[in-house]
Amino acid sequence: MEDQTAIHSFSYRAGALTLFAALAIVLPIAVASVTRQSLPVTLALMGSTFIIEYGAAPVGILGGLDPLFVLFVLACIALGVTLLLFGLCGTLAEHWPRFARFLEQTRGMAEGSRILARYGILGLLPLVIVLGFYVCAPVACIFGWRRDHATLLIMAGYLFACTLTILATLGILEVILP
């Protein structure tokens, strides 16, 4: 019985990993092909996004990609990575008792703080702008915030930062290349 559960858990996790990879990698490439965006520039944008997150927007804009497509690619990668990190956090908690105890302790402290329990999740909005999406999902997991709410706030803050970066890049190009 235990072997069946382990196999089911592994296949579930493998399917989730495939979904997150498809969201972050395959979907932007497919949309680039359909909308006739430059595939090399799209790949450069994707690679840059994995490293410098919303700071990669100028790579796509300067490469001649449509600004809405750049926003779409950035959003796909951020969402895919965020969901993957939530999944990894859950897997760690499930299979590593020490990590599960750590989560239990930190969640207890977070619930003990009135301000953190009530407003802490809203801190994800500025946190994603300052530290990025790689940090936000683990923080939400550690404090025990609802994944759906945390994901919405992470994406809202990230899309805000992406939009500002794209607009700033377009504005700078207007000044430099009238």
**CA-derived radius of gyration, the chain:** 19
pLDDT at 162: 96
pLDDT at 167: 92
By C-alpha distance, which of 43, 81, 87 is closest to 65?
Answer: 43
Dihedral of alpha carbons 171, 172, 175, 178, sign: negative
What digits encode the pLDDT tens for the residues 20-49? 877 889 999 999 999 999 999 999 999 999
Where the chain has pLDDT below 50, the residues are 1-3, 5-7
Per-residue tokens: 19: 């979904």
Give DSSP secondary structure letters for 40-102. Answer: HHHHHHHHHHHHHGGGGHHHHHHTT--HHHHHHHHHHHHHHHHHHHHHHHHHHHHH-HHHHHH
pLDDT at 54: 92
